[in-house]
Amino acid sequence: MDRSMKAISLVLSYPTRELQAAMPEIGAVLASDTRLTAAARRTLRPLVDELASRDIYDLEEQYVMLFDRSRTLSLNLFEHVHGESRDRGGAMVSLLETYRDGGFEPVTSELPDHLPVLLEFLSTRPFVEAQETLADAAHIFEALNARLVRRESPYAAVFAALLQLSGAKANREAVAELLDQPETDPNDLEALDAVWEESEVRFGPDPNAGCPVTRDMLARMDEPIRPAAE
Question: What pTM, to 2 d.p., does this model score?
Answer: 0.81
Q: Which residues, other chains included, contact 41 with Cβ-Cβ below 8 Å and sequence gap of 6+?
A: 30, 31, 33
User: What residues form DSSP beta bridges with 76?
Assistant: 114
Q: What was the pLDDT predicted at 182?
A: 86
Instruction: List the chain pLDDT tens, one digit each, 230 residues.
Output: 899 999 999 999 999 999 999 999 999 999 999 999 999 999 999 999 999 999 999 999 999 999 998 889 999 998 898 656 567 778 889 999 999 999 998 888 889 999 999 999 999 999 999 999 999 999 999 999 999 999 999 999 999 999 999 999 999 999 999 999 887 666 655 655 554 455 444 444 433 333 444 455 554 544 555 444 33
Cα 78 to Cα 6, 26, 113, 116, 178: the distances in Å are: 21, 27, 6, 13, 12
pLDDT in tens, 92-147: 899 999 999 999 988 888 899 999 999 999 999 999 999 999 999 999 999 999 99
Beta-carbon neighbour count of residue 39 at 10 Å?
11
- Residue ranges per domain, the chain? 3-219
